[in-house]
Amino acid sequence: PAMDEFARACVDEAHRLHVILQDWLRGTVPSTPAGFAPFADALADPCRVVSPLGTITERAALLSEFEAIHGVLSAHGEAFVIRVENAVVLRQWEDHALVSYEEWHDLDGDSSARLSTVLYTADTSAPLGVAWSFIHETWLPGLAPVAGERFPAAQNASTAA
């Protein structure tokens, strides 16, 4: 079945936000409130993330975490890529949608991947009119990175600095 406008916005938002995160980690967008807003403005309040290892992070902590790792993969440039594949709208209500997708991280020839399930909420103040309310991630079999939760190379770079 064809997706309606709301479902399409949710799938488009999954792709949009991961390009924003990729550029933030590469340092190709400015580390300013305006540079961070395309990420921050997409998260509902409240928003909760369950990481692949079961760690629960609320919106304020998530924003702080990502703000702190701006540009940590700048040395890798375009060798660091985040891509979203196989996005599927699992369930849709009038102002919510449950979407599942694979999130792939490629860095210098290595890949890791997680299955993410997101509850989106209609929100006219969000960039595409949908906000991230709840995110649950789990590693795809055999594709977990050696260390780290979300962006292990970024966390390794920030601890080495």
**Which tens digit of pLDDT belongs to each residue from 38-63?**
999 999 999 999 999 999 999 999 99
Cα(11)–Cα(50) distance, integer angstroms: 20
pLDDT of residue 2: 60
- Strand-pairing partners, residue 106, are 81, 111
* 118-160 pLDDT per residue, tens: 999 999 999 999 999 999 999 999 899 876 555 554 444 444 4
What's the length of the chain? 161
CB 29 within 8 A of CB 115: no
For residue 124, the one-letter residue type is T
- pLDDT for position 160: 44
